[in-house]
């Protein structure tokens, strides 16, 4: 996606200014850095937590471990807490605007949870957290 944006930006008339060129270069360097970081995390997760990597994916597994405070803490955490782990900021926002709080936190980023119908997202998140 960032590559598409950079191509569209390069064809625009405002791309000729030096500031715009510098901005485009910064964006491309950040994209490369993000890809390098993601590949390093994927490699480390495959060796550290292969089961979690298989079930949740490398990046989501790393986020879960980081939120839990370590792999041991995540292993000892009950499924109900794993399901809502990382929803604190969303809960604060929900209380401010008087909406319902979230039923799931970081685990919502999993494709099975995110791509499912809103009525069954909580159930899928609960099943995934219990594994």
Cα distance between residue 44 and residue 111, in whole Å: 21
Find the radius of gyration of the CA atoms of the chain.
19
pTM greater than 0.75 (yes/no): no
Q: Give the pLDDT confidence score for residue 101 in this predicted structure.
A: 62
- The whole-angstrom distance between residue 50's C-alpha and the CA centroid of its chain comes to 18
Sign of CA dihedral 45, 47, 49, 54: positive
pLDDT along the chain (131 residues), means of 10: 63 71 84 93 91 88 88 87 70 62 72 84 82 76
């Amino acid at each position: 996606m960032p590559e598409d944006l950079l191509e569209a930006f390069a064809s625009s008339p405002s791309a000729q200014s030096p500031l715009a060129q510098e901005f485009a270069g910064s964006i491309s360097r950040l994209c490369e850095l993000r890809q390098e970081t993601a590949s390093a995390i994927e490699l480390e997760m495959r060796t550290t937590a292969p089961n979690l990597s298989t079930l949740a994916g490398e990046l989501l597994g790393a986020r879960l471990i980081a939120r839990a405070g370590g792999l041991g803490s995540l292993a000892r955490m009950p499924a109900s807490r794993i399901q809502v782990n990382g929803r604190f900021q969303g809960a604060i926002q929900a209380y401010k605007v008087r909406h319902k709080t979230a039923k799931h936190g970081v685990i919502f980023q999993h494709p099975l949870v995110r791509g499912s119908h809103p009525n069954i997202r909580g159930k899928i998140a609960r099943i995934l957290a219990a594994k």
